[in-house]
Each structure stands twice: as C-alpha cells, then as structure tokens.
Amino acid sequence: MINENLTKERWFSLSFLDQMANIGCEVERIINWKIKYPDRSKLAIEGSLELLDLTISDKKNHSPAILKELCRVRETLVDYFMFDNIYGSSDKKWNDYFYSFNLLGK
C-alpha cells in the first residue's frame, strides 16, 4: 500500500464526497510534482489509483451511475498520466473535476 496509514475500514467510513476530495488531493500532487519531482509524481499516481480502487470497492458506491463514473475516472486518469491521453484530458480539467468534490464536501 502506498497510503501506509490508511485502512479499508477508515476509508470506507468517509463519505463518497470526502473520498473523491482526497483522491483529488493526490491528483493535485501528481500535477504539481510531475515536472520538478517525477519520482514523487509517480508515487502520487499510484496513491491516487489505490484510493480510487478502494472507493470502487466500497459497497456504498455500488449504484450503477457511481460505479460507472468511478471506473471512467480511473480509466481516464491512467490514460492521461501514464499513456497517450486519447481522451484529451488536461491538468486544468482534472483540477476542475476534483475541485467540485471539495466544494460539495464542505
């Protein structure tokens, strides 16, 4: 596990909005570190995917619409940060997407 202090139970106790806001923080780290600290950025990518996988496995998020969204987010994150960006993502689009979860979670 990348997020060493995190347990599945602790993650599952968070609301969906809080889970997504935390994933957004990891994505922000990826973006902020990708040029200056590529090794840290790679760890943040792995951390964000780990959190996303936990969110996907959380039963409270198993409505068809939420699961579809989470799987699509995972696919496009991997595409943008690790492959060819066929979906046309950008740093700004990712920041805007996750920012909304921070606003809604407050």
| pTM score | 0.91
How far apart are the C-alpha atoms of 88 and 61, rounded to whole Å?
26
Tens-digit pLDDT profile for residues 25-48: 999 999 999 999 999 999 999 999
Tens-digit pLDDT profile for residues 45-64: 999 999 999 999 999 999 99
Question: What are the structure tokens assigned to 39, written together?
Answer: 């090794």
The confidence band for 106, taking pLDDT boundaries of 50, 70 and 90, is: low
Residue-level pLDDT at 1: 55
Closest CA to 10 of 62, 63, 51, 68: 51
Cα torsion angle, 91, 103, 5, 78, sign:
negative
